[in-house]
Amino acid sequence: MEASPGSRDFVEYSRSLASLAYSRDRKIAAEATRTLFDDVVQPLADRFESDSCDVHAAFMAEVVHAPGSPIAATLRELGYTHPQDLIERYGMLRSEALEKQVVNEDVEKVVVLSRVEAKADVAITSVVLQCASVAFRSAEVDLVAPKENAYLIADGRRVYREIVSYPLDGSLANRLLAWRRIRNKVRTSIEGFREGEWLIVDPDSCITLNGLLPLADDRYVRFFESRSYAEGERVPIAELAADWCGQWFFWGGLEVYPSVSERSGNTSGGWRLAITLRKRLAGVSYAVGGWESRRLNGSFEDALLELLQKRGYWTVLDCGRGESDSTAATERVRAFPGSTSHLAVADDAMRNHARLMTYKGTLPAFGGWVSGAGVYVGYDTAMSHVVATFGVPVIQVCVGAPNEIYRSRWTPFSYQEIVSIPANGPEDAPSVLERIETELERIEATDARFGVEDID
């Protein structure tokens, strides 16, 4: 988007694109929604710049007030009659103008919004939940999230799950209507609590269009603008989330890493598998969730599996959760020059000792299967972040990152070894494979899980 926020061209572009996204013609609405989020919103977010956050806020403020918007009337009722009203509110929310110290002991309810995307919920929201649980020891902590994410990062004991529906791949109108429903749910959650007894934490959620749309009294809303926090610093976003919580929740001294629910990823099968085989175990995932631009190519993926076999690894391959990911995994199995099997229970692998075992299931379930692994290799997706929570060394291949800040931000954060290897496209496959082999050698040299003598 070349035009400056507030200019005639900027307003006309924003509103014309929005009007197409609100079209009753589903095909037109779907294409315009894809353009809006994939070609405008996502690139702005991926820059991790304060100025880009300003552009995003101005753009979406025009979008939600454009003719056909299903929430324009609700915004007018709340006093936001013009795009500038939302922009000014957003500016206040992200600045210190709203800063008002909340006495932790007085807070009885903390509501944390989901980021909706699994990778961000593991890297950011799980950290916020842990920090909130420590800072507000006597408060109920509610996670407002889609079902899969709620069970992924909330344990159901200290953190309560408020299940909501948000169509991350739905039309613009349906996403905005989801905000209205979730806003009502949040207000119900804090109903009955007095001022100062509740707090809402928005970790840059798409539910609120990254802080633009209001939920409740802004004095008791804390907004972590992850796209501009510590601008320019090459630090994992999970580490920044913990730092932000330390400033806003007024606690400190703890090192917090992302986590998944203990119940969502059963580690017993993974450790039984690793110990029984008495071989080095590797986890691999080529799943990209439909983002084919994040993949290198089949030749690289086949070569990596062969490299792991050559170095003495028994490998568990993630089959992904979509049709394209499953197809890619099937192709890798067909090309593999060794024994293969499908992994359902640990006993299956113990019986046949296949060098390549496939597994199809949830994110944390796969993480549990490779929890005893010596290494995990995969693309820049949620799986890298999930596996890292189990303390497994991770080699992440980041394909097509728009800049180095993006790659740094989305590098998993863990107490174990994490390596992020950049790649621009398939032409980089040979050098990436060479780098992976170098990293494997280094990780193996300090591998305390299974000794070198156990490798064939």
The pLDDT value recorded for residue 253 is 58
Q: How many CB atoms lie within 10 A of CB 212?
A: 22
Order of all β-strands in the sheet with 418-423: 340-342, 356-359, 313-318, 280-285, 375-379, 394-399, 418-423
SS3 379: strand
The pLDDT value recorded for residue 269 is 66
C-beta contacts of 9-12 below 8 A and 24+ residues apart: 10/58, 10/59, 10/62, 11/62
Residue 104 vs residues 130, 254, 309, 431: alpha-carbon distances, Å: 15, 17, 53, 51
Helix (H) or strand (E) holding 422: strand 418-423
What b-and-e string marks burial along 313-324, b requiring 16 or more CB atoms within 10 Å of the CB? bbbbbbbbbeee
Low-confidence ranges of the chain (pLDDT < 50): 450-456
The pLDDT value recorded for residue 293 is 87
How many angstroms separate the CA atoms of 450 and 374, rounded? 8
The pLDDT value recorded for residue 59 is 98
The pLDDT value recorded for residue 263 is 60
Helix, strand, coil percentages (3-state) for the chain, rounded to 5, are 50, 15, 35
Best CA proximity match to 204, nearest among 389, 56, 378: 56
Within 376-428, residue ranges assigned H as helices are: 382-388, 404-409
pTM for the whole structure: 0.93
The pLDDT value recorded for residue 158 is 77
Helix (H) or strand (E) holding 188: helix 172-190
Domains in the chain: ranges and CATH: 8-94 (no CATH), 97-248 (3.40.50), 268-454 (3.40.50.2000)
Distance between terminal CA atoms of the chain?
A: 56
* 327: Cβ contacts below 8 Å, ≥ 6 apart: none
